[in-house]
Structure 1
């Protein structure tokens, strides 16, 4: 997974605490990340309809639906795409011990193991929501993101 997934997840969790749209620059400042880099992740979330941009003086980003209805997998797929994390290149068909293509009628053991692992992690991410993460962040964090986002950290 790309680093953008981490920043996108943090932004979605932060937005659960916001009482009003949060400007991208404020989210970047909160996470000490480049505003340009974060803008790419926010655009990906927007294209996936997970966040939307509100224009105007009090503009910024908001979640498009309840945090309980946005899964971690939704965010991963918004940022990194829905394709598989592992792509088999049929390396077994190369080199001095190459297996002939006509003998490769089923995926190799490595490809099968990676596909099983991917199915497992996708299922786990599908069952974890942004609301779940926000609840756990609140329990873990020693800072008050809500106060900071809603004016105290201005």
Structure 2
């Protein structure tokens, strides 16, 4: 299984927004510039997070995006589902119905041992993501890399509205 690269972008962006002082809004350009991402594509991910209620957006000169959910209440699964949707990783195509001895009236998604194994694996993966919040990740990053939150805040303070770093004199 491979997740859309937008999932990684969304996870990191939400983490960065959790460190911004006063949870002030940041523009797509600023958020994209942090990791040198294409702003138009990141904006699609940000809009998906807004639709899911994870971010809020404000238009205008002081507009941008901010977390709409406290990090303690935001699971990693919430972010993944906002970007990828709720589709399971494995979809039983009822292949056994077309094989020797197959029966079109049987629900192979329920009776197939392989289908059940794949469903259990998908459920385990989702449970793991649902059990970790953005706050959990934030605490772990802060413990392992204590300078990261301040470095992120400083970067955003020194970034211009268009996302590029302001020149220091």
TM-score by length of 2: 0.81
Shift of 1:135: 2.2
Matches within 5 A, 1:3-152: 3-19=5-21, 20-94=24-98, 97=100, 99-104=102-107, 106-141=110-145, 143=148, 144-151=151-158
Q: Does the aligned pair in 1 maintain the 2:97–2:106 contact within 8 Å? A: no
Shift of 1:24: 0.8
Q: Does the aligned pair in 2 maintain the 1:17–1:149 contact within 8 Å? A: no
Unaligned regions of 5+ residues in structure 1, if any? none
TM-score by length of 1: 0.88
Q: Work out the CA distance in 2 between the residues paired with 1:127 and 1:90.
A: 32
Q: What CA deviation, in whole Å up to 9, does each residue of 1:75-111 have, x standing for no partner?
A: 111111122121111122235x362223556331111
Q: Work out the CA distance in 1 between the residues paired with 2:69 and 2:105.
A: 49
Unaligned regions of 5+ residues in structure 2, if any? 160-164
Q: Work out the CA distance in 1 between the residues paired with 2:101 and 2:93.
A: 13
Secondary structure of 1:102's partner? Answer: coil
How many residue pairs align between the two structures? Answer: 153
Worse-matched range after superposition: 37-46 or 107-116: 107-116
Shift of 1:131: 1.2
Secondary structure of 2:57's partner? Answer: strand
